[in-house]
Structure 1
Amino acid sequence: MGQYIQVEDKVKLYVEDIGEGTPVVFIHGWPLNHKMFEYQFIQLPRQGYRCIGIDLRGFGKSDSPWEGYSYNRMADDIRAVIDELKLENAVLAGFSVGGALAVRYMSRHAGHGISKLILMGAAAPSFVQRDNFPFGAPEEQVENLLVATHTDRPQMVTDFSELFTANSGSDSFAAWLHQHGVDASAQGTVRVLESLRDEDLRGDIASIHVPTAIFHGEQDKICSIELAKLLHQGIANSKLVVFEESGHGMLFDEPQKFSEELTGFLAGQQVPLEAITSEDVILNSDKVIL
């Protein structure tokens, strides 16, 4: 069932709410919408889960204002939905920029209403490279995306979609993914991309204190696997699941494994902390600050 929930600045967010049981709140990636999780919305309600998909402002069926695309504002949007639906002991599952927003939510709102966290291909701790942080994408890559968005947004979406998965899939799948991308508003596409460039979550990671699963494709060309390893090291009681045959969209590249890992984590107890060695990612240099 779909409904609109109005947040503090009078923006109306579209929220899909299907099933009964433990609530799982899905936050989509850029420049998509909640429909990217349609297979999970088919599977999980059969297993006793309530699937809640939020279209972020500027995307899907939600309002598309010019302002309000900072991580803080969008994290507050998530809080407004959780409060309106009176959710308790929910699982927060964020993909790509949705993962970044989930991290900010856990920090800014002290994990209100959340008992478990899932970060999928998360654009965190920082999507771009910064001083003392060489792991993200070059800032020039984001600037090129912004130029392409302003000159030929449909082609930009096509080019970006080609990086999304390690396996190209069918022409119909490519058209489906492209349609979701072009359905986004131009302003939402631009402003969230600017936030991806400007926001830094390194100070938020230590605020996460719930069991956390980190899903990441080893062949991810959008958010490199090093980001997942950094998250794993920085979040106590986290579990890193690497999808060896996947790019950014591991839920499409390895759907069977994704389904198994997702349902296993949802049903399981608290996960153990696993150590990351220096062979995985070098963090002991004084040039690197997490």
Structure 2
Amino acid sequence: MQSAILSAGALLATPSILPQTEHLNNPKVASRHPFVLARDGTRLYVQDWGSGRPLIFLSAWTFQSNVWGGHMATLTKRGFRCVAPDRRGYGRSEAPRTGYDLDTMVDDLSMIMDELDLRDAVLVAHSMGAFEATHYLATRGANRIARLVLVAPTTPSSVKTEDNPEGWPKEAIEAQHELIARDFPRWIGENEEPFFTPDTSQETRRWIKNMMMSASIPVALATAAATSTADVRSDLAKITCPTLIVHGDKDASAPLAMTGARTARLIPNSKLIVYHNAPHAIILTHQKSFLNDLLAFIES
């Protein structure tokens, strides 16, 4: 159960941790619209690279947009526009005192899509981002979204109840939140090993841990609470766009049977791809395979 709340999301980086690539420094693909105003006036930082069909990347719990840097560098070369926001409270976005509930996070996403006028987009969400993506589609519709990709999703519902026996006991989730509040660095260390593969470099591990520890603990706890208590089972049945779900069979943070497999069963017209021996950090540990499957799905 130690890894349970890594499933509530993913991780955060500072701007200096991930160096810019030569390609992303090209003025032809320069980032635009550095900030979008949320409905409550919060400034949301948005990376916006390249041109062409838009791909929107939603990060995991305590991650920020820089985690998608390698993906965006590759995909802009393939003729896509890549958009990746920092969730409110994380990275270069402002951190207001309120607004860390699921409905507000979805509204932030909607404001970004409207402001940037994104259409025929592919929405790609990792881990906790799956809650935002699926709730957005269920409540706002698919007018702007043509396809959905969920990577190691933590949906549909985390808390164990009578009608959700696959979830974690509520007391276990609360204990994890208490440990995060008391000793976040220790919690990160205890959850590190199953989050990666054995051959994940020390540099990548350090980068991810620095991401996490740069997050505000009150914000991290607020967003974890919002998604760990959310139940989007009814939302999933309302999704009409083609959906790809990619999940690892060694995901300790979001076990496949509890999350990805259930999500796939509940979304009509969805396809599940399972990676052998892949952990929760699948977007990093299996980046090449994921990009190949993403491109095949987009172009199919």
In structure 2, the CA distance between the partners of 1:162 and 1:11, relative to structure 1 (3 Å rule), is farther
Is 1:60 aligned to 2:73, yes or no? no
Q: Following TM superposition, by how much is the alpha carbon of 1:101 offset from its aligned partner in structure 2, in angstroms?
A: 0.9
The separation in 1 between residues aligned to 2:158 and 2:167, in whole angstroms, is 5
Is 1:105 aligned to 2:136, yes or no? yes
Aligned to 1:87: 118
Give the TM-score normalised by structure 1: 0.88
* C-alpha RMSD of the superposition: 1.4
The separation in 1 between residues aligned to 2:91 and 2:190, in whole angstroms, is 20
Q: Following TM superposition, by how much is the alpha carbon of 1:57 offset from its aligned partner in structure 2, in angstroms?
A: 0.9
* One-letter code aligned to 1:247: P
Aligned to 1:169: 200
Number of equivalences = 268
Secondary structure of the equivalent of 1:204? helix
The separation in 2 between residues aligned to 1:158 and 1:14, in whole angstroms, is 29
Aligned to 1:237: 269
Is residue 7–residue 13 contact of structure 1 (8 Å, CA) maintained in 2?
yes
* One-letter code aligned to 1:243: Y
Is 1:218 aligned to 2:275, yes or no? no
Q: Following TM superposition, by how much is the alpha carbon of 1:144 offset from its aligned partner in structure 2, in angstroms?
A: 2.3
Q: Which 4+ stretches in 1 moved above 4 angstroms?
A: none
The separation in 1 between residues aligned to 2:192 and 2:143, in whole angstroms, is 34
The separation in 1 between residues aligned to 2:172 and 2:70, in whole angstroms, is 31
Is residue 96–residue 123 contact of structure 1 (8 Å, CA) maintained in 2?
yes
The separation in 2 between residues aligned to 1:232 and 1:112, in whole angstroms, is 22
Q: Following TM superposition, by how much is the alpha carbon of 1:129 offset from its aligned partner in structure 2, in angstroms?
A: 2.1
Is residue 58–residue 187 contact of structure 1 (8 Å, CA) maintained in 2?
no
Q: Following TM superposition, by how much is the alpha carbon of 1:168 offset from its aligned partner in structure 2, in angstroms?
A: 5.1
Is 1:267 aligned to 2:296, yes or no? no
Q: Which runs of 5+ in 1 are unaligned?
A: 269-290
The separation in 2 between residues aligned to 1:130 and 1:16, in whole angstroms, is 39
Secondary structure of the equivalent of 1:92? strand
* One-letter code aligned to 2:264: H
Q: Following TM superposition, by how much is the alpha carbon of 1:80 offset from its aligned partner in structure 2, in angstroms?
A: 0.3
Deviation larger for 55-64 or 137-146: 137-146
Is residue 128–residue 196 contact of structure 1 (8 Å, CA) maintained in 2?
no
The separation in 2 between residues aligned to 1:158 and 1:42, in whole angstroms, is 30
Q: Following TM superposition, by how much is the alpha carbon of 1:149 offset from its aligned partner in structure 2, in angstroms?
A: 1.9
Q: Following TM superposition, by how much is the alpha carbon of 1:31 offset from its aligned partner in structure 2, in angstroms?
A: 1.5
Deviation larger for 230-239 or 165-174: 165-174
Q: Following TM superposition, by how much is the alpha carbon of 1:236 offset from its aligned partner in structure 2, in angstroms?
A: 1.2
* One-letter code aligned to 1:6: L
Deviation larger for 253-262 or 35-44: 253-262
Is residue 75–residue 102 contact of structure 1 (8 Å, CA) maintained in 2?
yes
Q: Deviations over 1:31-51 (max 9, x none)?
A: 211111121011100101111
Aligned with 2:260 (options 220, 223, 228): 228
* One-letter code aligned to 1:61: R
The separation in 2 between residues aligned to 1:181 and 1:221, in whole angstroms, is 18
Q: Structure with the greater relative contact order (CA < 8 A, sep ≥ 6): 1 or 2?
A: 2
Give the TM-score normalised by structure 2: 0.85
Aligned with 1:132 (options 163, 172, 182): 163
Q: Following TM superposition, by how much is the alpha carbon of 1:145 offset from its aligned partner in structure 2, in angstroms?
A: 2.3
Is residue 66–residue 187 contact of structure 1 (8 Å, CA) maintained in 2?
no
Aligned to 2:150: 119
Q: Following TM superposition, by how much is the alpha carbon of 1:154 offset from its aligned partner in structure 2, in angstroms?
A: 2.4
Is 1:250 aligned to 2:253, yes or no? no
The separation in 1 between residues aligned to 2:76 and 2:169, in whole angstroms, is 40
Aligned with 1:199 (options 230, 239, 244): 230
Q: Which runs of 5+ in 2 are unaligned?
A: 1-30
Is 1:14 aligned to 2:45, yes or no? yes
* One-letter code aligned to 2:162: D
